[in-house]
Structure 1
């Protein structure tokens, strides 16, 4: 058998931010996520943090907040204090680099919304006209703390769909 027995999909995406309250406000007020609950602070007097999370044993998880983001995955955002903590956001080209992509039905309206909320948008929208991503429009933007995000839309599908019956997961699909 290949893969995890019983795999159903992604439950949540967890990431660390410099200020969990600032991040929660951004994801709720600008992106439109829903705040569900929070935990913390948590620290351990033994090596539990090192054993369980592979962080310095004196790390303090100051707070975590769980958010639901539309019809997609949940977010678990953390604020930590730790000896030797790096506070530089990785670029996409760095090992560990990443971005969050938000699918929207109306790309132009969503882009206007980001700009109206003072969000730093990078470059200009890219429309893919050929290849497996044909029909997709995207643009990157940054959170207030510099995390990379993407706005993406392909309301008439993507080019690869003409070649196969199989489909990537999509937040607007009937199976979502």
Structure 2
């Protein structure tokens, strides 16, 4: 048996490292655990935590190609975050200038959800568990 226990981290490449770091930390509430500049790659790497758990590796690389998002392409489609109060979460995001789609109901679970984007257009989802 392989023995997977949980997802360790998710790697995200940002076109503007400082802008994305501010978005994930200041707007979404992640904390910066550590940060390194890798001179040989001209690249930043930030380790971001959510509620004390290491979750995202945020990278920068010179001139990364744009991420295809529409039409939907193969690969990772989006990241989803659970929230207790989706209305309050959407109000918080919109208060920080982040545009959210209309809140919808998942027809299979009857749970409320919405999508928004990070600074590079990566689709992110809020999903209300209760």
Alignment partner, residue 125 of structure 1: 103
The answer to whether the Cα contact below 8 Å between 2:10 and 2:57 also exists between their aligned partners in 1 is yes
Alignment partner, residue 110 of structure 1: 89
The answer to whether the Cα contact below 8 Å between 1:90 and 1:97 also exists between their aligned partners in 2 is no
CA RMSD, 1 decimal: 1.9
Alignment partner, residue 145 of structure 1: 120
Task: Give matches, 1:74-113, under 5 Å.
Answer: 74-81=55-62, 85-86=64-65, 88-91=66-69, 93-113=72-92
Structure 1: where are the runs of 5+ without partners?
Answer: 44-59, 156-176
Count of matched residue positions in the alignment of Structure 1 and Structure 2: 129
Supply the distance in 1 between the matched residues of 2:42 and 2:104 (Cα, whole angstroms): 39
The answer to whether the Cα contact below 8 Å between 1:121 and 1:141 also exists between their aligned partners in 2 is yes
TM normalised by structure 2 equals 0.87
Say which structure, 1 or 2, has more relative contact order (CA 8 Å, 6+ apart): 2
